[in-house]
Structure 1
Amino acid sequence: MVLLSLVASHHELDLAVLERLSSDVHAVGRELVGAATSISGAVVLATCNRFELYLDVADAADAPAARTAAARTVAARSGYPVEAVAAHLTALTDTSAAGHLFAVASGLESMVVGEREIAGQVRRALTAARRDGTTTGDLESLFQAASRVSRAVDARTGLGGTGRSVVGVALDIAASGLPDWSDVRCVLVGTGSYAGASLAALKARGVTDVRVYSPSGRASQFASARGVRAVPSGADLASEVAGVDLVVACSGAAGAVLEVDALASARSDDARPLTVVDLALRHDVDPGVRELPGVRLVSLHTVAQHAPAEHAAVQTARTLVDNAAQDYEGDRRVREWNPAVLAERTRVLGGLESALQALPDEARDERTERALRRRTRAALHAPTIRAREAARAGDTAAYASALAELATVAVPGMPAVGAQSAARSHDEPTSATA
């Protein structure tokens, strides 16, 4: 197995490009696994500031073909030329891919460094892959490890405890144009997980007057479960927000739900100032509203410009992530290369038991048999440890040498296998030997 990740993020691309790449993300995973024979699994991670594919590829030689297949699939969904998609997606493999996902899950690659919302998004990406039937055992292991690393980073550095998030930074920016939080009247657009996080952040700041609007008609259930009010289904959103102080929009609807012309018509010349926080990648609010008198727009671009800078805790977190990635890749190689070690041990120990069972009763001696088993296991122990340590380090030469030594361990009544022959058989561990 080769882990291949294809990464596009806010570090290199405009958010509008990421929005198009993220079109129909679940279809991308299903299509890749269904159509590309070299790809056995796929998890798609798409958030407001990244689009990433994690692929389980059969062999290193298949990685270029898998990358091409991914670019074609994403291109067909996004409308970008294949060449453009391929240029947008940075390829990472194995340790680098694992380290990147661990850093992402820990909030180290986020627009707001250290934010915690991404940890839930990583978990939901794996859940979606399970639902779509595109995950594999290796991808399960990778994403579960990412969640463990995220928790460890939080526990060791306290980054998650600082409350930094895209929502939090956006509301901090919005605060300068608002009355006291306890007096703010707000309309929340959306009912998903991001809307839940936004509502929690609003309440934490002391906002009590919140009404929920849902383009999909789910406002009533969402609002009643959280102790706020719902905007009546079918109501005109522009009219509803005309008399409030703040709009927080994060529905992810396909297209703007608050248009500039509609808002302009709903607002009077003496309308109170309105701050609009649009956290949707696809823009819930027409960006043109920033041109309206008395309207201030806080977007993801604004958040990116004001995100907190890195500090010592982040550097500690990056060290933890790097070490975790090395450990994960070492463990993966041990699992992949260990079957050849087990096969040699099984050959020797199985041969020993067969030889002992073949002895006539008068020749059997319990003490001698125990001693022989003990000496045989002792002879197997050192090369077994060396083989596994070599696998963890990725040292194929040391691994082949240890495996060859295992192959020469003699079994009573059976000839030893020549070390030179064994070395030739196992000098390059592959997925086939795994």
Structure 2
Amino acid sequence: MALLSLVASHHNKDLNTLEQLSVGSDRLGNTVIGSTVTGAVVLPTCNRFELYLDVTDPVAARAEVVSALSSMTSLEADAIDAALLAYEGDDAVEHLMSVSSGLESMVVGEREISGQVRRAHIDAREAGHLSPALDRLFQSALRTSRVVASSTGLGTSGRSVMSVAFDLADATVTWRGANALVVGTGALADTGIGVLRGRGARVTGVYSPSGRGGEIAARHDLEVVTAEDLVEALEEADVVLACSGGESIVLTPSLVAQAMSSRGHSLTLIDLALHRDVAAGVELLRGVNVVRLEDVKFHAPGESMAALETARAIVAHAVARFATDESGRSVDPAIVALREHVFGLLEREVARVRPGPGADPSISAQATATEAALRHFAKALLHTPTVRAKEMAESGHTDEYLSAINTLYGLDVAVPDDCCPAGEIDSPSA
């Protein structure tokens, strides 16, 4: 069996494409299980669509996924195939650990992603398509994310997609005493209600396009807004948090225009739904301000290079330990040291080519392509030494391998026990 990850994210695709790929994501896991796929975990978020598979044939499995997505979405098979980046083996392990640690997020270091990874893991288990290999992978990734959070400065500022979006809305919303309406019933809605109240807003109600607003309304002591009452609720609202995760537009230009016709103050709509809740063009209405995921991506803050390098080193340790069985434990320090060395160089080069906020789109696109090429090169560079390390350990030539690494790279492969919280990474209770 082999691990395969198929990925489309804000790094390489526009949000419209991600939105289309995520249509039917709740059914995709069961759909692809078959002769070549024995396990599947689907991870759709507001800025990524990822599928983790336990497969016998990566090529055949990819073709089955593309076919399934083509039947569920409005995208052609060729467009789907072009949108999905593939990671296999150690690369898939490293990618999930980086994702769950917030290193691949729109807001680097944000902690919301670890909860979304956990939810995807639980959903796959409850649906019956979580293989033992994927179960082990996701448990390890979640442990690693906790170690990164506790051992680096990443995420300590509390920055997230939601916090950045709310900060952008500061320009048009006076939070204390503002009337807020929530559209949606998922985890983002749950979190958003707390954030709104924390800023002093009065959450007046929750609207669910699917009609399932009763549970979240009861949990937060809110009124349920029905479709018939939606215009009236919009008339009274100062701000709307839209994060339904449904597959159709909720707030159309005509609906919002109807609500705006009988009010004399502005309305701010914060749309964090991957499948947009707020239709294009609503922001053109007089008195209406819209904050979208594209705005969050543009204004997302950066993180310090030191914190990123430390986080990457922790991920490298975790990947090495996941990939190395007991017969190869003696070369673990060498694999870890080599990964730290390569990824440290990689992060410095990526930081050098990455443009700042407000850069021309063509420059940003070129930088993204360069970064992807650098990351691919780094992983290719590490592949053969990692394979050889395991082979040398199994044949009893560990000392020769360690000596070669030290001679070629000048690396101290006698890694101190406290250089990385490896015990936490390996411990099920971490």
Give me the TM-score of the superposition, normalised by structure 2.
Answer: 0.74
- SS of the residue corresponding to residue 45 of structure 1 reads strand
What's 2:93 paired with? Answer: 98
- SS of the residue corresponding to residue 324 of structure 2 reads helix
Unaligned 5+ runs, structure 2: 330-384, 398-430
Where do residues 31-180 of structure 1 align in structure 2 (5 Å cutoff)? 31-34=31-34, 37-58=35-56, 62-179=57-174
Where do residues 315-330 of structure 1 align in structure 2 (5 Å cutoff)? 315-330=309-324
What's 2:366 paired with? Answer: none
User: Following TM superposition, by how much is the alpha carbon of 1:96 offset from its aligned partner in structure 2, in angstroms?
Assistant: 1.1
Contact (CA 8 Å) 2:41, 2:51: kept in 1 or not? Answer: yes
- For each residue in 1:360-400, what CA deviation from the matched residue of structure 2 results, as whole angstroms up to 9, or x when unmatched? xxxxxxxxxxxxxxxxxxxxxxxxxxxxxx99965335525
- SS of the residue corresponding to residue 395 of structure 1 reads helix
State how far apart, in whole Å, the 2-side matches of 1:14 and 1:276 are.
Answer: 21
Q: Which amino acid in the other structure matches residue 207 of structure 1?
A: A
What's 2:414 paired with? Answer: none
C-alpha RMSD of matched pairs (Å):
2.2
- SS of the residue corresponding to residue 275 of structure 1 reads strand
Change (3 A) 1:206 1:45: same
Q: Which amino acid in the other structure matches residue 3 of structure 1?
A: L
What's 2:14 paired with? Answer: 14
State how far apart, in whole Å, the 2-side matches of 1:184 and 1:205 are.
Answer: 9
State how far apart, in whole Å, the 2-side matches of 1:239 and 1:199 are.
Answer: 20
Change (3 A) 1:31 1:333: farther
Where do residues 196-345 of structure 1 align in structure 2 (5 Å cutoff)? 196-227=190-221, 229-268=222-261, 271-311=264-304, 312-331=306-325
User: Following TM superposition, by how much is the alpha carbon of 1:155 offset from its aligned partner in structure 2, in angstroms?
Assistant: 0.5
Which stretch has the larger CA shift, 129-138 or 391-400? Answer: 391-400
Unaligned 5+ runs, structure 1: 336-389, 403-434
Larger Rg: 1 or 2?
1
Q: Which amino acid in the other structure matches residue 47 of structure 1?
A: T
Contact (CA 8 Å) 1:334, 1:391: kept in 2 or not? Answer: no
User: Following TM superposition, by how much is the alpha carbon of 1:322 offset from its aligned partner in structure 2, in angstroms?
Assistant: 2.1
Contact (CA 8 Å) 1:330, 1:393: kept in 2 or not? Answer: no
What's 1:4 paired with? Answer: 4
State how far apart, in whole Å, the 1-side matches of 2:159 and 2:396 are.
Answer: 51
State how far apart, in whole Å, the 2-side matches of 1:134 and 1:334 are.
Answer: 30
State how far apart, in whole Å, the 1-side matches of 2:184 and 2:12 are.
Answer: 28
Contact (CA 8 Å) 2:270, 2:290: kept in 1 or not? Answer: yes
Contact (CA 8 Å) 1:330, 1:394: kept in 2 or not? Answer: no
State how far apart, in whole Å, the 1-side matches of 2:326 and 2:60 are.
Answer: 23
- SS of the residue corresponding to residue 183 of structure 1 reads coil
State how far apart, in whole Å, the 1-side matches of 2:327 and 2:283 are.
Answer: 54
Change (3 A) 1:78 1:220: closer
Is 2:394 the counterpart of 1:399? yes
- For each residue in 1:190-227, what CA deviation from the matched residue of structure 2 results, as whole angstroms up to 9, or x when unmatched? 12111001111112222234322222333343223224
User: Following TM superposition, by how much is the alpha carbon of 1:249 offset from its aligned partner in structure 2, in angstroms?
Assistant: 0.6
Q: Which amino acid in the other structure matches residue 92 of structure 2?
A: A
State how far apart, in whole Å, the 1-side matches of 2:302 and 2:276 are.
Answer: 26
- SS of the residue corresponding to residue 56 of structure 1 reads strand
Change (3 A) 1:314 1:199: farther
State how far apart, in whole Å, the 2-side matches of 1:270 and 1:68 are.
Answer: 53
User: Following TM superposition, by how much is the alpha carbon of 1:291 offset from its aligned partner in structure 2, in angstroms?
Assistant: 0.5
- For each residue in 1:292-346, what CA deviation from the matched residue of structure 2 results, as whole angstroms up to 9, or x when unmatched? 00100001111111111121323321221122112211148869xxxxxxxxxxx
Change (3 A) 1:274 1:65: same
Change (3 A) 1:223 1:86: same
Which stretch has the larger CA shift, 242-251 or 138-147? Answer: 242-251
User: Following TM superposition, by how much is the alpha carbon of 1:69 offset from its aligned partner in structure 2, in angstroms?
Assistant: 2.0
Contact (CA 8 Å) 2:328, 2:393: kept in 1 or not? Answer: no
State how far apart, in whole Å, the 2-side matches of 1:129 and 1:69 are.
Answer: 18
State how far apart, in whole Å, the 1-side matches of 2:86 and 2:215 are.
Answer: 42
Change (3 A) 1:265 1:105: same
State how far apart, in whole Å, the 2-side matches of 1:135 and 1:76 are.
Answer: 23
- For each residue in 1:3-38, what CA deviation from the matched residue of structure 2 results, as whole angstroms up to 9, or x when unmatched? 11111111110111011111211322212213xx22
Which stretch has the larger CA shift, 255-264 or 272-281? Answer: 255-264
Which of 188, 197, 221 is the matching residue for 1:194? Answer: 188
State how far apart, in whole Å, the 1-side matches of 2:224 and 2:196 are.
Answer: 17
State how far apart, in whole Å, the 2-side matches of 1:183 and 1:398 are.
Answer: 65
